[in-house]
Amino acid sequence: MNNLKQYLIVPALIVGFSSLQAERFFGDPPDAHNPWAVHDANRPQPPIVEPGANYGDPPSDAVVLFDGTAASIGNWHHLRPDDKRKQDWLFKDGVMQSVRGAGTIATEQEFGDCQLHIEWAAPVEANGSGQGRGNSGVFFLDGMVEVQVLDNYRNPTYPDGSAGSVYGVMPPAANALRPSGEWQSYDIIFRRPIVRDGQVLDSGRLTVLLNGVVIQDSTPLEGGGGYKQRQPLDRVFPEKGGLRLQDHGDPVRFRNIWVRPLRPRSLDGGTDGRLSIAASMAKRTEIAKSIRSDAQSLTGVDKALRLFESLVYHENAQARAEAEQLLRAYLDKFAAASVDQVDAYRNKMLELDRMLQYLKKHYFIGDKHEALAAIDRICKEQDWKKR
Ligand code: MG
């Protein structure tokens, strides 16, 4: 058919594969719990987030809750009704400060699982002792659980009420406080408990960094804790709620507060990670549909490749039949090509081979599929090296 000798003296036509094409032939295929293949080029890219210029600065997707401007005060409200409180929290010099009797403040917006950055400072003059020095607190989900704010710098108190404790549940792993009056930072990753029909599916977790030091590391919430009491492990938490800052009678200052909602866990409707069989199969069907829809914009062998690819996620007899028919047409077209046209088929033929080898390896086509042998023969005749 084609003249091999003549072919050898023609300099090899180097056509660069885009990295995406090269990556499209991925690792282990989707399965009952994983809707994506390993290294799957069809998987959406992670969203781009511009980090802050300096550590602690809000990234581009953060919800800024307090940035020192008067406008950002509007992101908070007092929980105690106006006629029941004599004073408001103070706003001065770009800082919010708790005031005895003003009560707790809460965000206008509600959050569920989130990353929270917050900076706080106890009074420079360290009055009081134990729990009575620089006490405030960061609460999640309308007060269900508290990360303690306390000036226990050289001021011992009960450990599960120290700064950065999950109050009443777990002491911080270290006391990394700066001296009284200095600014301290918390970076908190909060995951709410998920309880369904009395079954604790996830106990919820808190990770806390105090001044960059890990002091809680995926600490289970154990129902959320509280003053002098344990909570039932199957206590039901809302999906979302306000973040709160406590007035515990001490003038504690706050600044630079921002939050980022976290991607949902697979238990919570997320489609990353190990899924239930039902969720994985539903997602696989959706991915296959999207690939087949993309295939409609293609023709010939490119369409065949995309349709074959869709079968890895979800079988579809019509898509398979069309892919097979386009594949046969492509091989027929090659067989009829003239010697000087052959070279143009090289890269696509090798791509097709990689796809079919992948499908064979993972049992999406039989190992006796006629195209496998046909392409093998073509590659040998043309001296096309498979990768
Ligand atoms: Mg407190």
- Distance, CA of 343 to CA of 351 (rounded, Å): 14
Confidence tier at 23 by pLDDT (50, 70, 90): low
Long-range contacts of 54-63 (CB under 8 A, 24+ apart): 55/212, 56/117, 56/119, 56/185, 56/256, 58/117, 58/256, 58/258, 59/260, 61/260, 62/117, 62/258, 62/259, 62/260, 63/109, 63/111, 63/258, 63/259, 63/260, 63/261
Amino acid in position 85: R
Share of the chain above pLDDT 70, in %: 94
Pairing of strands 194-196, 199-202: antiparallel
CA of 261 from ligand 1 middle (Å) equals 24
CA of 246 to the centre of ligand 1 (A): 6
13 burial via Cβ count (<10 Å: 0-12, 13-18, 19+): exposed
Residues of the chain with CATH 2.60.120.560: 67-265
Overall fold of domain 67-265: Jelly Rolls (2.60.120)
At a CB cut-off of 8 Å and minimum separation 6, what does 335 contact? 1
Compute the distance from residue 210 Cα to the ligand 1 centre, in Å: 16
pLDDT-above-90 percentage for the chain = 91
Give the pLDDT confidence of 319-361 residue by residue, as tens digits: 999 999 999 999 999 999 999 999 999 999 999 999 999 999 9
User: Residue 17 pLDDT more than 90?
Assistant: no
Q: What is the pLDDT of residue 357?
A: 95
Residue with tokens 């809707």: 35
Question: Per 3-state DSSP, what percentage of the chain is helix, strand, and coil (rounded to 5)?
Answer: 30, 20, 50
Instruction: Summarize pLDDT for 250-262 with one digit per residue, the tens.
Output: 999 999 999 999 9
pTM of the model: 0.88
Sorting pLDDT into bands at 50, 70 and 90, what band is 386? confident
Q: Please report where in the chains the tokens 């408990």 appear, as a residue.
A: 193
Whether 318 has a pLDDT exceeding 50, the answer reads yes
- Looking at this protein, which amino acid is placed at residue 314? H
132 CA distance to ligand 1 middle (Å): 10
Question: Mean pLDDT across the chain, nearest whole number?
Answer: 93
- The residue-averaged pLDDT of 5-20 equals 41
